[in-house]
Amino acid sequence: MSEVATTWAKQPDTKPKQPSRLKVSEAVIRFAGNSQDGIQAIGGFLARLAGRSEQEVMTFMTIPATISGGASIFQVRIGSGEVLSAGDECDVLVAFYQHSYESHINSLKKGGIVLYDAEHVDPKPEWQQDYNHVGVPISSLTIEAIGGTAKDKGKNLFALGLVAKMFELNTTKLEKLITERFAGKDTSVVTTALNAFHAGYGYTLGELMETFQFMESHRAAGDQVVMNGNEALAYGLLAAGVRFGAAYPITPWSEVMEILRRELPKYGGTFVQCEDEIAAVSMAMGASYAGRVAVTGSSGPGISLKSESISWGVMAEVPLVIVDVQRGGPSTGLPTSVEQSDLNIACYGGHGDAPRVVVAPANVEDCFYTAIEAVNIARTFSVPVIVLSDQSIATRIEALPEPKIQKICQDLTPNLRPVADHKPYDLSSPDGIPEHHAPGTRILSGKYPILTGLEHDEYGHPTASPKLHAAMTAKRRRKLQELSSSLPTPRVYGPEEGDILLVGWGSTVGPIREAVDRYLAAGDKVSSIHIRHLNPLPPGLDIIFGNFRQVLVIEMNDEGLYGYGQLAALLRARFMDKRLRSITKTDGLTWKVKEIRERVKPFLSDFARRR
Amino acid sequence: MTPIVTEAPTTQAPTLPAPSRTGGTFTVVNRPGEERKALTKKEIAADHPTWCPGCGDFSVLALYFKLIEKRRLFQEQFVSIAGIGCSSRFPYFVQAHGVHYIHGRALPFATGISLTRPDLHVFVFGGDGDAFSIGGNHFTHAARKNVKLTYVVMDNFVYGLTKKQTSPTSPLGFKSKTDMWGAMDQPINPMKQALAAGATFVARTTHSNPNHVLAMMEAAMDHDGFGFIECLSECVEFYEGAFDASNPRKGGQFVEVPKDHNVADEIAAYRLADQPFPGYFGVFYKNGRPTKNANEAKIIADQRAKVGGLKDWEILKKSFDRMK
């Protein structure tokens, strides 16, 4: 048994040297190691702790696509004010190995602290000047504390202890989190974990000049929940009243299906793992037809396979929610990296004129509400709705105000009350929005609906009538135009007129807004908008664009053959506005604020010159 | 905009899939004091079928009407689902809730209905291309999962809708527009395929014996599980005479499964399936293994018991409490 742990337990406040204390409003901490080191777990503890302390938090992680081994990082940004992104540079780097040290030292701020495992990292003299190096024999101290060998786990909790000490984190809350995490396992597991944590916390960071303390958070006290984007999507679907789902495993979507498989039976629902992507979308479509909006999901490659069925859903006017957690493509591409390159397939992927709805959540909290909105659009307009999430939202952890669940939860039990007559494709409805009566409904006229992929008459029977095909095609389009006019116009972040408007969608909202904050602070006239509804687009965008001299669309995809990213091309086609330009990148990583500013700079200096 | 639920319905689909039931016991929605007579052919027939005169599919459709009448099924108790192909036009000809889905995927679509609506009987109709070619994977997995539904495959050994290409059941040497020198790929044996996939009810019949078709449909409908029928159904246009050897009126022989055949014996069923054409007709195999419907319902019942009498929002609240 370790002396260190015992010492800590007996004399928690006895420290030989007390470093000076600094108050900070936020901090970015990056843990770099290998994927099996439990780095995600430390990040998770810190994120949860922040959530329980009314602080804002955002995380960023990379994991290798391999099952075990490979470099992995987890970055946590904790702040007392608003946290918009996971942060460009870190204040503290915890490096477990030489490769972690060497590959991530560049992400550390000049003057930042690198906390390294002295047994695995050989510090470079040329970096000593710029960064505050603190070596700790993490591996051996962990073994000392909990026994076992260097290969065993526990280093992560030791490192968490070190960080807790450095930032004067609330140990009682952390201990509770650790205990909760291992609840249900052998009590010795909890004890070992706590011992490793205490050993780290009790270690004297002799070389460290100062410790940090977060300033009081100004946010209104209220319960926060901490989760990642995949969890938020899954729980949003449950709140929306979805009770059936079907899918095929694929990274980074699988987590959503795993959660739904576990949770749905509690609500009387079912989730089925299917033989393939096509079976999955078909099964979900069948369940939707049967009366209650169902869900399927995938990532890029699987969405391609589902596209024939999605076109059927458009033609037959059957509601369905399809989640696409985007990753780098095409093909198998970069399974564990982020990209926004599925916008085109989401909006246009499919044969025929098949208008469907595409919405993209902006952050983890928005995943929860977007899931509900998607369900409600699907059932109101009887149309497939694609939710475009991405790998970065899926895997990052945020703290969000606890949703008012009792008020939000919906019951979508189908109404099977007999009806006098029913035309599933009634052309007399002015907005083109059909009514759906699920099977099991008695129709007193004796005329029953057929839902079909063939062009059809108002009862769903096949027709090759030129007039009907034109009328039905227009009907399927008209209902989405109706939806479009009911959508809210995005609000401008920053002044409503100026030199440059940055336009973003999906997970890029944080770094874009942070860039705008810095521009405004420097007196530059740069604002931004975030587009959540991508197909159809909301009204009023042209008016907003008109108030700026340049509109720059920022996305994580390729500039394409003609120099425009996927949203930029869509907006150019829609508005034919010459002010629209495109800023794209394809490195599989989220935008850094610094990168955005560098790419916007030429446009900005242009205005400065002209002024 | 019309929300799906406008007022309290008189009947509601159950939230929980109840354990699956045998056919013919589904909810009937009668008006107060209403006495309903079994649906007549006139009430249940919709569009005039688009099949060629003499097509075997007419026989299957007529017997489906007869089944509905005989078993007193009403439109609120069943759905007819199909994929793509001549035979898959089926739902248009039935005046009842129906779906014409995409090629080969009728089974997973039907599974979605079966698992969420225990109050409905799900009938799936299709051809050999749908079942054994483009939808082959789904056939295997729907059988393996033992989803409660009735699947009638009208097997004509040829692609008819697209005008005579080779089908997965075309015999070796069959000349088509895509095999002008004769089919060379080993045809699929639907009976063996179904048995190997774990189907729990496997039967074979032919359009030229109406009483037998009806008997097989009834038996499949009453089976609590995946009920599969291969029904030989002649394409008079592109493969005329394909099934004469099974039709006594054309000089052939209709041989029923031997009386002493044990339907629980899978190996014996393989032996029956191994006979050269025209082979045997009747129930080859039957097994009472629990359905996916029942297995899922059990999981739901167990999980519901664990959360006690909590309302849905309370269950979600508890999950969120754990994420604080």
In a domain, A12, yes or no: yes
Count structural domains, chain A: 4
Helix A593-610 × helix A509-521 angle, to 10°:
40
Counted across chains A and B, CB pairs separated by less than 8 A come out at 239
Is residue A281 domain-shared with residue A257, that is, in the same domain? Answer: yes
Q: Looking at residues A562-573, what average pLDDT do you find?
A: 98
| Closest approach of A70 to chain B, Cα-based (Å) | 29
Secondary structure (DSSP) of A76-100: EEEESS---SS-SSEEEEEE-SHHH
pLDDT digits (tens, 9 = 90+) for B296-320: 999 999 999 999 989 999 999 999 9
Domain boundary among A385, A408, A431: A408
- Residue B75 has its nearest CB partner, among A406, A436, A442, at A442
Is residue A297 domain-shared with residue A404, that is, in the same domain? Answer: yes
In a domain, A82, yes or no: yes
| Closest approach of B173 to chain A, Cα-based (Å) | 33
- Residue A461 has its nearest CB partner, among B47, B300, B302, at B47
Partners of A381 on chain B (C-beta within 8 Å) are 1
CATH code assigned at A50: 3.40.920.10
Partners of B318 on chain A (C-beta within 8 Å) are none
How many Å from the N-terminal Cα to the C-terminal Cα in chain B?
38
Q: How far apart are CA B159 and CA B84, in angstroms?
A: 11
Return the pLDDT at A151. 60
Residue entry with tokens 């979605």: B112
Q: What are phi and psi of B283, to 5 degrees?
A: -85, 115
Task: Please indicate if any CB of chain B lies within 8 Å of the CB of A344.
Answer: no
Is residue A213 domain-shared with residue A298, that is, in the same domain? Answer: no
Partners of A233 on chain B (C-beta within 8 Å) are none
**CA dihedral angle for residue A498, residue A500, residue A502, residue A503, rounded to 10 degrees:** 80
Cα B52 to its chain centre, rounded Å, is 23
Cβ neighbours, 10 Å, residue A151: 7
- Residue A294 has its nearest CB partner, among B1, B112, B120, at B112
Is residue A535 domain-shared with residue A557, that is, in the same domain? Answer: yes
pLDDT digits (tens, 9 = 90+) for B135-161: 999 999 999 999 999 999 999 999 999
Return the pLDDT at A605. 86
| Closest approach of A512 to chain B, Cα-based (Å) | 28
Angular region, B198: left φ>0, alpha ψ -120 to 50, beta rest: left
- Residue A274 has its nearest CB partner, among B78, B100, B108, at B108
In a domain, A404, yes or no: yes
B93: nearest CA partner in chain A: A461
Q: How far is CA B27 from CA A361, A589, B13, B99, in A?
A: 41, 55, 10, 20
- Residue B116 has its nearest CB partner, among A180, A244, A454, at A244
- Residue B100 has its nearest CB partner, among A52, A417, A452, at A452
Return the pLDDT at A464. 92
* Token pair recorded at residue A421: 């007559």
Is residue A100 domain-shared with residue A133, that is, in the same domain? Answer: yes
Contact B226, B146 (CB under 8 A): yes
Is residue A554 domain-shared with residue A577, that is, in the same domain? Answer: yes
We find that the CATH architecture of domain B41-289 is 3-Layer(aba) Sandwich (3.40)
Is residue A301 domain-shared with residue A353, that is, in the same domain? Answer: yes
Domain range enclosing A211: 3-220
A51: nearest CA partner in chain B: B324
CATH code assigned at A402: 3.40.50.970
**Domains of chain B by residue range:** 41-289, 292-324
In a domain, A138, yes or no: yes
Cβ neighbours, 10 Å, residue B106: 33
Return the pLDDT at A48. 86
| Closest approach of B312 to chain A, Cα-based (Å) | 6
Partners of A307 on chain B (C-beta within 8 Å) are none
Q: How far apart are CA A161 and CA A75, in angstroms?
A: 16
Are B109 and A263 within 8 A, CB to CB? no
Domain boundary among A375, A408, A441: A408
Is residue A387 domain-shared with residue A250, that is, in the same domain? Answer: yes
Is residue A325 domain-shared with residue A462, that is, in the same domain? Answer: no
Q: How far is CA B90 from CA A323, A531, B40, B152, B222, in A?
A: 32, 45, 18, 11, 21
Return the pLDDT at A157. 92
Partners of A402 on chain B (C-beta within 8 Å) are 320, 324
Domain boundary among A220, A252, A276: A220
* Token pair recorded at residue A504: 């973003």
CATH code assigned at A600: 3.40.50.920
In a domain, A491, yes or no: no
Is residue A445 domain-shared with residue A376, that is, in the same domain? Answer: no
Is residue A179 domain-shared with residue A75, that is, in the same domain? Answer: yes
Contact A512, A530 (CB under 8 A): yes
Task: Please indicate if any CB of chain B lies within 8 Å of the CB of A563.
Answer: no
pLDDT digits (tens, 9 = 90+) for A413-445: 999 999 999 999 999 988 999 989 999 999 999
User: What is the reported pTM?
Assistant: 0.92
Are B108 and A462 within 8 A, CB to CB? no
In a domain, A492, yes or no: no
Q: How far is CA A562 from CA A374, A555, A601, in A?
A: 32, 15, 22
The ipTM is 0.93
Is residue A230 domain-shared with residue A216, that is, in the same domain? Answer: no
Return the pLDDT at A19. 63
